[in-house]
Chain A
Amino acid sequence: MSNPPNAPPLDRPALLSALRARIARLERAGASEAMAARGEDAIPLSPAIDAALPWGGLPRAALHEILAAEPGAAAGFAALVLARAGGTVLWIAPEPDAWPPGLARFGLSPAQLVLVRAARAQDALWAMEETLRCAAVGAALLVAGALDLTAARRLQLAAESGGVLGLLLRPDEDNAAPTAALSRWRIGAAPSDSTSPHAIGDAAWSLDLLRCRSGRPASWRATWHGSELVTEEGAATPARRRA
């Protein structure tokens, strides 16, 4: 597990990346068992996005923040991640309005989905933390307003110990505070490719990776086509805003 790389010791980038991977494994020691049971530890999104993320996908055992520039598009992206995480999925919100007929299109069946209503922020945080510590859960989504750094850090630690993927769905505000989450996304709607005014075509999103630990910010325009996320080549420009 912690064998030094066989490459020559002077290859500094290789050494550094091996050490980084080792530290990452040590940091998530508690979650390794839960993740080993599930097979893979990162959720694939689309080839272009996976290549830009240092983990080859959206990693489990971590907290990811989604800023919703448009509620429908953000919910769509969240549903996509939840469905691909598999297993039981919890949707924690002050007023959970997830609707299975629409979620089914992303492969999220009603048998997987558990809804929790938490009107008060402290209840919501408690529920999210308990959920993230439970290795039997696939992923959890928390619809929240502002979140202070301590609370986010607690959630991140809980996700690391349970091996659960946590999503934080927040409204897109300019004063978004620094976060303890592993990545921060802003999801907005994009005009679709449809040429006819009478057909709205496939869903199109603008995905901005605003912040990503040990990765670079990037932007994509993606369409949800059939059952896969198709990103457009050449659209990977740096994010408009650093967070």
Chain B
Amino acid sequence: MGVGEGGVPSDLLTNATAMPLPLPPPLIAGSGEAVASPAGVQGAAPHGRARRTLALLLPRLPVERLRRPGPVVVWAQRGARRVVVSVSAEAGSAGLRAGQALADAQAIMPGVVLVPEDPAGDAAALNRLALWCLRFTPLVGVEGEDGLLLDITGVAHLFGGEDALRAEMLRRLARQGLTARAAVAGMPGVALALVRGGWGGVVVAGKQEAAVRPLSLAALRLDPALVSALQGLGLRDVGSVAAQPRAGLVRRFGAGLARALDEALGHAARPISPIRPPPEMQVARDFADPVATRAGIEAALDLLLDALCRALREAGRGGRRMLLRAHRVDGAVQEVAIGTGLATRDPQHLARLFHGKLEGLEPECGYDRITLEAPVADPMAGVQNGLGTTGRSARREELAQLLDRLSQRLPVWRLAPRASHWPERAVRRVGAFDEMEDFDGWSARPRPLRLLRRPPFIGAMALLPDAPPSLLRIGREAHRVVRAEGPERFEPEWWRDRADRKLRDYYRVELASGARLWVCRIGLVEPGGEARWALHGHFP
């Protein structure tokens, strides 16, 4: 990488990057070495081991993600001006730089390719890269529009140390055609300040402040007006700003500067907001030859499921959600997620759930790494075979597996009773796995078996305005009413209903054919007005 490491004495580096680059273990084992990380390693900094963070800066991402040959410039409209936003390396060496007027850039280099900016595309590309970075550590966060923060606590040894991890990451990014700068430090804010200040490397825990102090003010990522104001005072690096009395600084430039200083110097914590919650369990497998066929993916999935379920069993847990993440050779990352109603660690059941969804993958040139993680794992006691309860719990599990399979493709729910006399609110939808207690508060009067979701309006004739109907007109057919019971008046629930809801008078009617219907008159009949009737259900 053409990233300078100047400006900082070399004794700050733990060990020079000149050491031979060892391949990380997951890559050596082409057959794949499944690595299960125990629950709770990531997240909060564990005791006894300092937290380590890697910050990654992609200064030329808007240009390089286009993958165009030759000099390229991305420009944007800023008010009345057209300015250069990002330049490729070739264009940069010719003297073009971000912030230049577009006309100047064209004058300097007439043959340059101009591309209008696309912030949404840049953000998507950065997000894709963040997903790709999940191959290094489970906790990755996006910083601004060109930075990534990786929590590498406890994972560096898998790649042969922090230096090797950093070098490996930069090497792989370079293979994707991306210019990047990476710095490793204890606090996320320090690492971020280092890369923003133009420095790349590894800083040991005790020397963070010393590493940040000589950096330029760009490391703080301040407002340009504030930077020029500080420079006007002769404060040109982080150290000289930090040396000023804090009270005056805050009074004059606001608390934002103090906050940025504290974060950059490692005095204040800066949280990483992860793009994916760190999983409780994860297994991974690398492939020397990319896997591209369905059969290959299924075989890999089976191996991963076996490993993950074994790890879950050892931890006494069962997964509620599973996420398969496939890293394609070209850097794209695809994800397939499944969910189960009850915690499970049955590889065959999980494999069946996944098989229906693997069609969503697009392994064009193949996957070189597939990971499987359980983002949510619940405690799950083991079941001993041969006990009296085995049969019942096996039945329950079998039913849960059926409902899992169905709910992968279709909406599945149960209806739970609710304390409301209003017909539409008598039940509410709950998940298929929710516990439900028995309920015997139903009305003693007959109720229809099927409640029409969209009750049609019907015509009705009654001898008197408030008498039961004697003739119903449903569609184009007229039906004579032989028997009618009612009315049963339903008052709207004023405490939860809208104000203009009308009361209903329900009648149970039997037609000459024997059909029994639940019809209602909506509202009170005004003198001279027409009553509105609706068919709401079918009686047995």
Contacts and interface: CB of A to CB of B under 8 A. Distances in A.
Q: Do A and B bind each other?
A: yes
Interface of A: 37, 70-73, 75-77, 79, 88, 95, 97-106, 109-111, 113-118, 123, 126-127, 130-131, 134-137, 188-192, 194, 196-201, 203-206, 224
A228 to B, nearest CB: 14
A101 B426 contact: yes
A101 B442 contact: yes
16 contacts: A37-B391, A72-B448, A76-B539, A77-B540, A79-B540, A97-B452, A98-B450, A99-B426, A100-B426, A101-B442, A103-B449, A188-B514, A196-B483, A200-B483, A201-B483, A203-B539
A102 B449 contact: yes
Interface stretch (B79-87, B283-291, B403-411): B403-411
Contacts of B448: 72, 99, 102
A21 to B, nearest CB: 28
Nearest to B429: A115
Given A70-B514, A110-B414, 11 more contacts: A99-B537, A101-B426, A111-B436, A116-B406, A116-B411, A117-B410, A192-B514, A198-B483, A198-B484, A199-B485, A200-B510
B482 interface: yes
Interface string B218-229: 000000000000
Nearest to B481: A197
A58 B426 CA distance: 32
Contacts of A37: 391
A131 B446 CA distance: 31
Nearest to B538: A72
B341 to A, nearest CB: 11
Contacts of B417: 100, 110
B515 interface: yes
B405 to A, nearest CB: 6
A109 B411 contact: no
Query: Considering residues B391, B411, B484, B516, which has the most beta carbons from chain A within 10 angstroms of its beta carbon?
Result: B516
A117 B411 contact: yes
Given A105-B447, A189-B514, A136 B395 contact: yes
A99 B449 contact: yes
Interface centre among A104, A135, A188, A194 (most CB of B within 10 A): A104
Nearest to B434: A111
A95 B437 CA distance: 25
Nearest to B446: A105
A212 B406 CA distance: 31
Contacts of A123: 409-410
A191 B512 CA distance: 7
Given A110-B417, A110-B427, A197 B483 contact: yes
A97 B540 contact: no
B508 interface: yes
Contacts of B537: 99, 102
9 closest A-B pairs by beta carbon, nearest first, are A76-B540, A72-B538, A189-B514, A136-B399, A99-B451, A136-B398, A102-B449, A102-B447, A101-B447
Nearest to A93: B450
Contact of A189 (B403, B409, B443, B516): B516
Given A79-B449, A200-B483, A110 B409 contact: no
B351 interface: no
User: Considering residues A95, A123, A200, which has the most beta carbons from chain B within 10 angstroms of its beta carbon?
Assistant: A200
Interface string B398-438: 11011101100111111111000000001100001000111
